[in-house]
Amino acid sequence: MAAVVLLAVSGMLRLVADLLEAMRLAFCGNDNASAYNITAGVLRNVCFVDALNLVPHVFLLFITFPILFIGWGSQSSKVQIHHNTWLHFPGHNLRWILTFTLLFVHVCEIAEGIVSDTQMKSRHLHLFLPAIMGFVAATVSIVYYHNIETSNFPKLLLALFLYWIMAFVTKTIKLVRYCQDGVPFSQLRFCITGIMVILYGLLMAVEINVIRVRRYVFFMNPQKVKPPEDLQDLGVRFLQPFVNLLSKATYWWMNTLIISAHKKPVDLKAIGKLPIAMRALTNYVCLKEAYEEQKKKVADQPNRSPSIWLAMYSAFGRPILLSSTFRYLADLLGFAGPLCISGIVQGFQNTTHNTNTTEKIIMGVILLYNLLGVSALVGAAVIVLLAPIQYFIATKLAEAQKSTLDYSTERLKKTNEILKGIKLLKLYAWEHIFCKSVEETRMKELTSLKTFALHTSLSIFMNAAIPIAAVLATFVTYAYTNDKPLQPAQAFASLSLFHILVTPLFLLSTVVRFAVKAIISVQKLNEFLLSDEIGDDSWRGGDNSVAYESCKKHTGLHTKAINRRQPLRYQLENYEQSSRRQTRPVETDDIAIKVTNGYFSWGSGLATLSNINIRIPTGQMTMIVGQVGCGKSSLLLAILGEMQTLEGKVHWSNVNETEPSFEASRSKNRYSVAYAAQKPWLLNATVEENIIFGSPFNKQRYKAVTDACSLQPDIDLLPFGDQTEIGERGINLSGGQRQRICVARALYQNTNIVFLDDPFSALDIHLSDHLMQEGILKFLQEDKRTLVLVTHKLQYLPHADWIIAMKDGMVLREGTLKDIQNNDVELYEHWKTLMNRQDQELEKDMEADQTTLERKTLRRAMYPRESKAQLEDEDEEEEEEEDEDDNMSTVLRLRTKMPWKTCWRYLTSGGFFLLFLMIFSKLLKHSVIVAIDYWLATWTSMDNVNEFRNADDVQSAEKTYHVAVFSILSGAGIVLCLITSLTVEWMGLTAAKNLHHNLLNKIILGPIRFFDMTPLGLILNRFSADTNIIDQHIPPTLESLTRSTLLCLSAIGMISYATPWFLVALVPLGIAFYFIQKYFRVASKDLQELDDSTQLPLLCHFSETAEGLTTIRAFRHESRFKQRMLELTDTNNIAYLFLSAANRWLEVRTDYLGACIVLTAAITSITEGPNSGFVGLGLLYALTITNYLNWVVRNLADLEVQMGAVKKVHSFLNMESENYDGYLDASQVPKDWPQEGEIKIENLCVRYENNLKPVLKHVKAYIKPGQKVGICGRTGSGKSSLSLAFFRMVDIFDGRIVIDGIDISKLPLHTLRSRLSIILQDPILFSGSIRFNLDPECKCTDDRLWEALEIAQLKNMVKSLPGGLDAMVTEGGENFSVGQRQLFCLARAFVRKSSILIMDEATASIDMATENILQKVVMTAFADRTVVTIAHRVHTILTADLVIVMKRGNILEYDTPENLLSQEDGIFASFVRADM
What tens digit of pLDDT does each residue of 1203-1230 get?
A: 888 988 888 888 888 877 777 777 777 8
Which of 504 and 1115 is assigned the larger pLDDT?
Answer: 1115
pLDDT value for 1171: 57
User: CB of 1272 within 8 A of CB of 1247?
Assistant: no
| Least confident piece of the model among 42-51, 675-684, 1139-1148 | 42-51
What average pLDDT does the segment 403-420 reach?
Answer: 85
Residue type at position 561: A
Highest mean pLDDT among 853-857, 881-885, 1390-1394: 1390-1394
Q: How many CA atoms lie within 13 A of 166 on its CB side?
A: 17
The Cα–Cα gap between 284 and 656 comes to 37
Q: What is the mean pLDDT of residues 206-235?
A: 79
Quick one: what percent of the chain has pLDDT higher than 90?
Answer: 5
Per-residue DSSP letter, 236: B
Averaged pLDDT for residues 1146-1154: 87
- Please report which residue ranges of 421-487 form alpha helices under DSSP H: 422-427, 431-481
Distance of alpha carbon 1327 from alpha carbon 1375, whole angstroms: 10
Give the separation between CA 1003 and CA 419, rounded to whole angstroms.
9
Q: Are 1180 and 933 in contact (CB under 8 A)?
A: yes
The per-residue pLDDT for range 414-464, each reduced to its tens digit, is 888 888 888 888 888 888 888 888 888 899 888 888 888 888 888 888 877
Length of the chain measured in residues:
1476
**Which range is least confidently modeled, 611-615, 659-663, 940-944, 1297-1301?**
659-663
Alpha helix ranges (H) inside 272-373: 280-297, 308-333, 336-349, 360-372
pLDDT the model gives residue 5: 41
Distance CA 1164, CA 1160 (A): 6
Q: 409 pLDDT band (50/70/90 cuts)?
A: confident
Confidence of residue 197 (pLDDT cuts 50, 70, 90): very high
Task: Give the separation between CA 1102 and CA 855, rounded to whole angstroms.
Answer: 30
Instruction: Give 700's Cβ-side CA count (13 Å radius).
Output: 1
Q: What is the mean pLDDT of residues 1014-1037?
A: 84
Backbone φ and ψ of 440, nearest 5°:
-65, -45
Q: What angle do CA 527, 533, 534 make, to 5 degrees?
A: 155
Residue 354 CA: distances (Å) to CA of 186, 346, 373, 919: 18, 11, 15, 43
Q: Which residue has the higher pLDDT, 345 or 668?
A: 345
Region 999-1008 average pLDDT: 86
Position 551 scores a pLDDT of: 34
Cα 1180 to Cα 344, 1052, 1066: the distances in Å are 11, 11, 17
Q: How many helices (H) and strands (E) does the chain have?
A: 53, 23
Lowest mean pLDDT among 385-394, 965-974, 1188-1197, 1267-1276: 385-394
End-to-end CA separation in angstroms for the chain: 123
**pLDDT tens-digit readout, 138-195:** 999 998 888 888 777 788 888 898 999 999 999 998 888 888 877 787 788 888 889 9
Gyration radius from the chain CA atoms: 42
Distance CA 1389, CA 1425 (A): 12
Q: DSSP label at 883?
A: T
Q: Is 810 helix (H, G, I), strand (E, B) or coil?
A: strand
**Among 200, 331, 1090, 1103, CA closest to 682:** 1103
Q: Are 1161 and 1062 in contact (CB under 8 A)?
A: yes
pLDDT at residue 365 in the model: 65
Question: Burial level of 1208, CB count in 10 A (0-12/13-18/19+)?
Answer: middle
pLDDT for the residue 667: 37
Do residues 1240 and 1262 touch, judged by C-beta distance below 8 A? yes
pLDDT confidence tier of residue 660, bands split at 50, 70 and 90: very low
Mean pLDDT, residues 708-712: 86
Q: DSSP letter for 1428, please.
A: E
422/209 Cα distance (integer angstroms): 77
Asked which of 400-404, 647-651, 887-891, 949-953 is least confident by mean pLDDT, the reply is 887-891
- Residue 802's identity, in one-letter code, is W
pLDDT, mean of residues 681-698: 87
Strand order in the sheet with 1442-1447: 1317-1319, 1396-1400, 1426-1430, 1268-1272, 1442-1447, 1450-1455
DSSP string, 547-604: GGGGGTT-GGGSTTT--TTS-HHHHHHHHHHHHHT--PPP-BTTEEEEEEEEEEESSS
Please give the average per-residue pLDDT across 44-58, as a whole number: 82
* Listed range (361-370, 850-859, 1258-1267, 1414-1423) with the worst mean pLDDT: 850-859
User: 1291 phi and psi, to 5 degrees?
Assistant: -85, 110
Find out whether 551 and 285 touch, Cβ atoms under 8 Å. yes
Residues in contact with 570: Cβ distance below 8 Å, sequence separation at least 6, in sequence order = none
Cβ density class 835-873: b for 16+ within 10 Å, e for less: beebeeeeeebeebbbbebbbbbbeebbebbeeeeeeee
Of 1145, 1086, 1143, 1142, which is closest to residue 262 (Cα–Cα)? 1086
What b/e readout covers 920-957, taking b as 16+ CB neighbours within 10 angstroms?
A: ebbeebbbbbbbbbbbbbbbbbbbbeeeeeeeeeebee
CB atoms within 10 A of CB 4: 8
Which alpha helices (DSSP H) does 758-849 contain, by range?
A: 765-770, 781-782, 817-823, 825-845
User: Which residues lie across from 1453 on neighbouring strands?
Assistant: 1445
Least confident stretch, 670-679, 834-843, 925-934: 834-843
Please compute the mean of the pLDDT values over residues 352-367 and round it to a whole number. Answer: 49
Q: By the 8 A CB rule, do 1387 and 1356 touch?
A: no
Half-sphere CA count of 1457, side-chain side, radius 13 A: 15
> Which has the minimum average pLDDT: 1000-1009, 1011-1020, 1342-1351?
1011-1020
- DSSP track, 758-778: STTTTS-HHHHHHIIIIIIII
Tell me the CA distances in angstroms from 306 to 283, 296, 315, 549, one per residue in order.
Answer: 19, 8, 14, 18
Mean of all residue pLDDT scores within the chain = 77
CA-CA distance, 696 to 704, in Å (whole number)? 15
Dihedral sign, Cα of residue 931, residue 936, residue 939, residue 944: negative
Judging by DSSP bridges, how do beta strands 1268-1272 and 1426-1430 pair with one another?
parallel
Q: Which of 546-555, 1033-1042, 1152-1161, 1360-1369 has the lowest mean pLDDT?
A: 546-555
Question: Does the bond joining 1234 to the residue before it have cis omega, within 30 degrees of 0?
Answer: yes
By three-state DSSP, how is residue 789 classified? strand
C-alpha–C-alpha distance, residues 1319 and 232, integer Å: 67
Give per-residue pLDDT as tens, 1274-1290. 767 788 788 888 888 88
